[in-house]
Amino acid sequence: MENKDLLSEEEQFRELRQLLKEMPKVDAPPGFEADLMRRINSEKYAEAKPGLWERITGFLKPVPSALAVGVVAIVAFVLLVNEPGDEIIQKIDTAVQQDQVASTGTKTDDKIDNSPQFESKEQQYPSKGDAPASQPPPKVSTERGAEYSPAPNTRSTGGNNLPVTAAVASVSEESFDKKADAITGTPKPSMKGAAQGGGAISSLTSAKAIQKVADSLKAKQKDTSTNK
Amino acid sequence: MSDRRLRDLTDEQLILEFQETNDTELFEAIVSRYKNPLFNFVFRFLGDRDATSDVVQETFIKVYRNKDSYKTFAKFSTWIYTIAGNLAKTELQRRKRKNQISINSWGEDEETMDLPDGGPLPDRLVDSGMKNKMIQEALLKLPEVYREMVILRDIQEMSYEEIAETMGISIGTVKSRINRGRAQLQELLRDIFKE
């Protein structure tokens, strides 16, 4: 039975093969060779010319080097803009300003007189003794906006209130704390960015100067009281 | 070079001499020998005369430009059929992508096809024409791997060894694929066999 099936299958394939063999042969159209040779000759000519790809790559050759130069320029620009020196200078300025706010009792927004005249003015009060007696002690405002109360060791002698001296004396300890923080690099939450690195040094020097002024004022006060 | 000498040279001798001399006459002799067999093979595979013409021309151009890549240990016929088969498959893929396969073009071609003179009666002619059309359509429905094998074996009458060399596969694989292809083709042509 199986052999019969195989035989019939073979027979069927034989028929199929015969059918395929008898199919008419399809020939190349007339002029095929002429067209082919024409194409080959034109391709020969095309070979001599630079191809489209070659032209594109030739055009794009300077692009990588230009890109590299551009990248280097961008990196250099970014580095220059974000140079750490600027930050340090900015921090120094902030630290000095905050120090002066604390010592003079003026707001940061107010224009602080950093010039040497400021010191000379301070020195003028006790020497001339014409500081207004009724002038209330200044309210020193911190950055947070809290009012500053005068320190308990503020002394008023003979109706001569010396607000600057009092403020300096009371604030001196605080400013030294700030400077210590600044030197160790520990930032205080209320003094964002102010107590760091180089800013501490400048504020330390200015605080020392203020301390000297305060000391000299105290000495002069003693002299006037003894004279009286 | 005389025509007689050209006729006497084998395919392999022609291509080797063409490699050495770059003589266009030798190349033309190759084209003359292979243009019709290749055209028939590619046409049965693609079913489109214009596309076939392009593919066969492309095949000869490849032979011309890459003549030096032919090695003496290979049979020239298998080499050129490999090139033509690959190009035909590429064309088929391209057309599939474009979804522009047109079986109708086969009908047009059939109308202009030369038929043997002094043959059967007009009824018979129409009948054989229809049969050929049906066979061609059935061939195009076969999977590519089977189609190529069946065409090479049963239409181009190549040996199993030559097909194996052309396709780069073992003879056993060739035989099994041809049998599967034949079985599928027979199933597709059931109506013809019933007659």
Q: Where are the domains of chain A?
A: 86-227
Asked if B116 lies within 8 A of A43 by C-beta distance, the reply is no
- A62-113 tens-digit pLDDT: 677 788 889 999 998 888 887 665 555 666 667 667 777 666 655 444 444 4
* CATH for the B142-189 domain, from 1.20.210.10, 1.20.120.420, 1.10.10.10, 1.20.58.220: 1.10.10.10
pLDDT of residue A89: 60
pLDDT of residue B178: 94
Mutation test of the interface with chain A: which of B42, B64, B175, choosing the one with the most A Cβ atoms within 10 A?
B64
pLDDT of residue A149: 43
Q: Show the low-confidence residues of chain A (pLDDT under 70).
A: 1-12, 45-54, 58-62, 83-93, 95-96, 101-204, 228
Mutation test of the interface with chain B: which of A6, A32, A43, A47, choosing the one with the most B Cβ atoms within 10 A?
A32
CA distance B14 to A162: 120
How much of chain B, in percent, has pLDDT values that exceed 70? 84
Q: Which residues contact A21 (CB under 8 A, 6 or more apart)?
A: B154, B155, B157
pLDDT of residue B71: 85
CA distance A60 to B185: 53
Give the count of Cβ contacts less than 8 A between chain A and B.
81
Chain A contact present for B109, CB below 8 A: yes
**B132 contacts in chain A (CB < 8 Å):** 23-24
Q: How far is CA A127 from CA A134, A210, A212, A219, A223, in A?
A: 18, 16, 15, 11, 11
CA distance A72 to A95: 36
DSSP-based three-state secondary structure for A73: helix
* C-beta of residue B67 within 8 angstroms of C-beta of residue B18: yes
Interface ipTM above 0.85 = no
Q: How many residues does chain A have?
A: 228
pLDDT of residue B2: 73
**A35 contacts in chain B (CB < 8 Å):** 57
Which of B35, B44, B109 is the closest to A33 by Cβ?
A: B35
Asked if B186 lies within 8 A of A16 by C-beta distance, the reply is yes
- Tell which CATH architecture fits domain B1-102: Orthogonal Bundle (1.10)
Radius of gyration of chain A (CA): 47
Mutation test of the interface with chain A: which of B53, B55, B184, choosing the one with the most A Cβ atoms within 10 A?
B53
Which of B28, B52, B186 is the closest to A12 by Cβ?
A: B186
Q: What are the sequence ranges of the domains in chain B? A: 1-102, 142-189
**B154 contacts in chain A (CB < 8 Å):** 16-17, 20-21
Which of A168, A142, A160, A135 lies closest to A225 in space, CA to CA? Answer: A160
Q: Show the low-confidence residues of chain B (pLDDT under 50).
A: 101, 107-119
Taking the CA of residue A59 and the nearest CA in chain B, the distance in Å comes to 27
Which of B170, B147, B182 lies closest to B42 in space, CA to CA? Answer: B147
CA-nearest residue to A27 within chain B is B36
Residue type, B35: K
Asked if B114 lies within 8 A of A24 by C-beta distance, the reply is yes
The reply to whether B142-189 shares the fold of B1-102 is no
Taking the CA of residue B123 and the nearest CA in chain A, the distance in Å comes to 17
Asked if B39 lies within 8 A of A26 by C-beta distance, the reply is yes
Asked if B36 lies within 8 A of A12 by C-beta distance, the reply is no
Give the other-Cβ count within 10 Å of A210's Cβ: 24
**B189 contacts in chain A (CB < 8 Å):** 16, 19
